[in-house]
Structure 1
Amino acid sequence: MDQGQDDLYAVDASGVNLRKLCGGGITNTMESCVAAAILPGNPDAVIIGDSKLGADSPSLRFTRKELDNFFAAYQAGEI
Protein backbone atom coordinates (compact mmCIF):
# COMPACT_ATOMS: atom_id res chain seq x y z
CA MET A 1 0.00 0.00 0.00
CA ASP A 2 1.47 3.35 -1.05
CA GLN A 3 1.65 6.12 1.48
CA GLY A 4 0.96 9.68 0.38
CA GLN A 5 3.83 12.14 0.15
CA ASP A 6 2.68 13.91 3.33
CA ASP A 7 2.97 10.64 5.24
CA LEU A 8 6.53 10.13 3.97
CA TYR A 9 7.61 13.51 5.33
CA ALA A 10 5.90 12.87 8.67
CA VAL A 11 8.45 10.14 9.48
CA ASP A 12 11.40 11.27 11.61
CA ALA A 13 14.49 10.36 9.63
CA SER A 14 16.95 12.59 11.49
CA GLY A 15 19.15 9.65 12.53
CA VAL A 16 19.27 7.98 9.12
CA ASN A 17 22.69 7.80 7.45
CA LEU A 18 22.36 8.34 3.73
CA ARG A 19 24.64 6.09 1.66
CA LYS A 20 26.61 7.72 -1.15
CA LEU A 21 25.75 6.13 -4.51
CA CYS A 22 27.84 7.03 -7.56
CA GLY A 23 27.77 6.09 -11.18
CA GLY A 24 28.12 7.55 -14.60
CA GLY A 25 29.50 10.99 -14.99
CA ILE A 26 28.63 14.50 -15.98
CA THR A 27 32.05 14.95 -17.58
CA ASN A 28 35.15 12.82 -17.91
CA THR A 29 36.50 14.38 -14.71
CA MET A 30 33.38 14.42 -12.56
CA GLU A 31 31.32 11.50 -11.29
CA SER A 32 27.59 11.82 -10.55
CA CYS A 33 26.57 10.93 -6.99
CA VAL A 34 23.50 11.05 -4.78
CA ALA A 35 22.95 9.94 -1.20
CA ALA A 36 20.07 7.59 -0.43
CA ALA A 37 18.53 5.42 2.27
CA ILE A 38 15.37 3.45 2.94
CA LEU A 39 12.85 5.44 4.99
CA PRO A 40 12.60 4.01 8.54
CA GLY A 41 9.48 1.90 8.97
CA ASN A 42 8.67 1.91 5.24
CA PRO A 43 10.76 -0.40 3.06
CA ASP A 44 8.90 0.89 -0.01
CA ALA A 45 10.08 4.48 0.42
CA VAL A 46 13.45 6.10 -0.27
CA ILE A 47 15.14 9.26 1.00
CA ILE A 48 17.42 11.00 -1.54
CA GLY A 49 19.82 13.84 -0.82
CA ASP A 50 22.85 15.63 -2.28
CA SER A 51 26.00 13.66 -1.54
CA LYS A 52 28.16 16.81 -1.67
CA LEU A 53 26.29 18.41 1.22
CA GLY A 54 26.42 15.42 3.57
CA ALA A 55 24.27 15.74 6.69
CA ASP A 56 23.31 19.32 5.72
CA SER A 57 21.61 18.16 2.53
CA PRO A 58 17.90 18.75 2.17
CA SER A 59 16.21 15.49 1.28
CA LEU A 60 13.42 14.33 -0.96
CA ARG A 61 11.27 11.27 -0.26
CA PHE A 62 9.72 9.02 -2.84
CA THR A 63 7.87 5.74 -2.90
CA ARG A 64 9.48 3.02 -4.99
CA LYS A 65 6.47 3.22 -7.31
CA GLU A 66 7.11 6.92 -7.90
CA LEU A 67 10.77 6.23 -8.68
CA ASP A 68 9.81 3.36 -11.01
CA ASN A 69 7.42 5.68 -12.85
CA PHE A 70 10.11 8.38 -13.11
CA PHE A 71 12.69 5.96 -14.56
CA ALA A 72 10.16 4.48 -16.99
CA ALA A 73 9.27 7.96 -18.27
CA TYR A 74 12.97 8.83 -18.59
CA GLN A 75 13.75 5.63 -20.51
CA ALA A 76 10.76 6.26 -22.79
CA GLY A 77 12.13 9.73 -23.61
CA GLU A 78 9.17 11.47 -21.98
CA ILE A 79 11.45 13.55 -19.73
Structure 2
Amino acid sequence: MAEKVNLYEVDATGVNLRKLCGGGINNLSMESCVAAAILPGNPDAVTIGDSKLGADTPTLRFTRQELNNFFAAYQAGEIS
Protein backbone atom coordinates (compact mmCIF):
# COMPACT_ATOMS: atom_id res chain seq x y z
CA MET A 1 0.00 0.00 0.00
CA ALA A 2 1.35 3.42 -0.97
CA GLU A 3 2.14 5.91 1.76
CA LYS A 4 -0.56 8.59 2.09
CA VAL A 5 0.78 12.09 1.40
CA ASN A 6 -0.49 15.08 3.37
CA LEU A 7 -1.47 17.30 0.44
CA TYR A 8 -1.27 20.42 2.61
CA GLU A 9 2.45 19.76 3.12
CA VAL A 10 3.10 19.95 -0.64
CA ASP A 11 4.69 23.29 -1.56
CA ALA A 12 2.30 24.97 -3.98
CA THR A 13 4.18 28.27 -4.14
CA GLY A 14 3.82 29.75 -7.60
CA VAL A 15 1.11 27.34 -8.74
CA ASN A 16 -1.01 29.06 -11.38
CA LEU A 17 -4.66 28.37 -10.61
CA ARG A 18 -6.74 28.21 -13.78
CA LYS A 19 -10.28 29.60 -13.74
CA LEU A 20 -12.81 26.90 -14.65
CA CYS A 21 -16.44 27.88 -15.25
CA GLY A 22 -19.60 26.09 -16.17
CA GLY A 23 -23.24 25.84 -15.36
CA GLY A 24 -25.56 28.43 -14.02
CA ILE A 25 -26.48 29.38 -10.50
CA ASN A 26 -30.17 28.78 -9.74
CA ASN A 27 -31.08 28.91 -13.44
CA LEU A 28 -29.76 32.46 -13.71
CA SER A 29 -27.38 33.55 -16.42
CA MET A 30 -24.44 33.70 -13.99
CA GLU A 31 -21.80 31.03 -14.30
CA SER A 32 -20.27 29.33 -11.30
CA CYS A 33 -16.48 29.20 -11.34
CA VAL A 34 -13.59 27.78 -9.35
CA ALA A 35 -9.83 28.10 -9.71
CA ALA A 36 -7.89 24.83 -9.86
CA ALA A 37 -4.46 23.37 -10.57
CA ILE A 38 -2.57 20.10 -10.30
CA LEU A 39 -0.22 20.09 -7.30
CA PRO A 40 3.49 20.10 -8.19
CA GLY A 41 5.07 16.66 -8.16
CA ASN A 42 1.73 14.93 -7.62
CA PRO A 43 -0.34 14.55 -10.80
CA ASP A 44 -3.05 12.79 -8.77
CA ALA A 45 -3.73 15.81 -6.53
CA VAL A 46 -5.69 18.98 -7.20
CA THR A 47 -5.83 22.31 -5.39
CA ILE A 48 -9.05 24.32 -5.67
CA GLY A 49 -9.85 27.89 -4.67
CA ASP A 50 -12.34 30.70 -5.21
CA SER A 51 -11.86 32.24 -8.65
CA LYS A 52 -13.22 35.61 -7.46
CA LEU A 53 -10.40 36.00 -4.91
CA GLY A 54 -7.54 35.58 -7.37
CA ALA A 55 -4.06 34.69 -6.12
CA ASP A 56 -5.03 35.38 -2.48
CA THR A 57 -7.66 32.65 -2.38
CA PRO A 58 -7.41 30.02 0.35
CA THR A 59 -7.31 26.59 -1.23
CA LEU A 60 -8.58 23.11 -0.56
CA ARG A 61 -6.65 20.06 -1.75
CA PHE A 62 -8.03 16.73 -2.92
CA THR A 63 -6.85 13.57 -4.62
CA ARG A 64 -8.56 12.78 -7.90
CA GLN A 65 -10.23 9.80 -6.20
CA GLU A 66 -11.68 12.05 -3.51
CA LEU A 67 -13.10 14.35 -6.20
CA ASN A 68 -14.46 11.36 -8.14
CA ASN A 69 -16.19 10.11 -4.97
CA PHE A 70 -17.68 13.57 -4.36
CA PHE A 71 -19.04 13.85 -7.90
CA ALA A 72 -20.45 10.31 -7.78
CA ALA A 73 -22.25 11.09 -4.51
CA TYR A 74 -23.61 14.32 -5.99
CA GLN A 75 -24.85 12.58 -9.13
CA ALA A 76 -26.48 9.86 -7.01
CA GLY A 77 -28.42 12.52 -5.11
CA GLU A 78 -26.57 11.93 -1.86
CA ILE A 79 -25.50 15.61 -1.78
CA SER A 80 -27.99 18.37 -2.54
Query: TM-score, with normalisation over the residues of structure 1?
Result: 0.90
| Contact 1:2/1:63 (8 A) holds in 2 | no
Tell me by how many angstroms 1:59 deviates.
0.1
Letter in 1 for 2:46: V
Give the SS at the match of 2:16: coil
| Contact 1:34/1:48 (8 A) holds in 2 | yes
| 2:8 is the alignment partner of 1:9 | yes
Give the SS at the match of 1:66: helix
Tell me by how many angstroms 1:30 deviates.
1.2
Structure 2 Cα separation of the partners of residues 51 and 3 of structure 1: 28
Aligned ranges 1:27-46 → 2 under 5 Å: 27-46=27-46
Give the aligned length: 77
* Cα distance change, pair 66–2 in 1 and its aligned pair in 2 (3 A): farther
The alignment's C-alpha RMSD in Å is 1.3
| Contact 1:44/1:63 (8 A) holds in 2 | yes
* Structure 1 residues without counterparts, runs of 5 or longer: none
Aligned ranges 1:13-28 → 2 under 5 Å: 13-26=12-25, 27-28=27-28
Give the SS at the match of 1:73: helix
The structure with the greater share of residues assigned to strand is 1
Structure 2 Cα separation of the partners of residues 67 and 3 of structure 1: 16
* Cα distance change, pair 20–2 in 1 and its aligned pair in 2 (3 A): farther
> Which runs of 4 or more aligned residues in structure 1 lie more than 4 Å from their structure 2 counterparts after TM superposition?
none
